[in-house]
Amino acid sequence: QVQVVESGGGSVQPGESLRLSCATSGFTWEYYVVVWFRQAPGKEREGLSCIGSRDVNTYYSDSVKGRFTISRDNTNNTVFLQMNSLKPEDTAVYYCATDRHNGYSPCYYNMHTVGYWGKGTQVTVSS
């Protein structure tokens, strides 16, 4: 079955960086999309970024644009989220999710329909 495993979370100070990884496996799709979300205590889940079948097919929410970068290693079916200039408001549990993709539509079309989720990784930004 499809498996999604996040890693790379931790505790950092404001201004520092972290790189999250999302390892996916167990599927035979030719194309797939990966979406990163986060959820802070007492807040709604927020879609942050996604990447489609080609690296140029990416999306960032306004809250992370210019600070976070999504990329993928197709050889290992792993997607990364490089998070720079972290702020206390970035503190949350970060989740990634994946699903089949048609290979050409913008990845954000899939942001709210992805069906396979990881268990999340905690990111804490505090001085």
The model's pLDDT over 44-97, given as tens digits with 9 standing for 90+, comes to 999 999 999 766 689 999 999 999 999 999 889 999 999 999 999 999 999 999
Mean pLDDT for 18-46 is 95
Distance CA 96, CA 7 (A): 10
Does the pLDDT value for residue 104 go beyond 70?
yes
Could you give the percent of the chain with pLDDT greater than 90?
Answer: 83
**pLDDT value, residue 103:** 84
DSSP bridge partners of 71: 80
Strand 121-125 to 10-12 pairing? parallel
Distance CA 43, CA 101 (A): 28
The three-class DSSP label of residue 9 is: coil
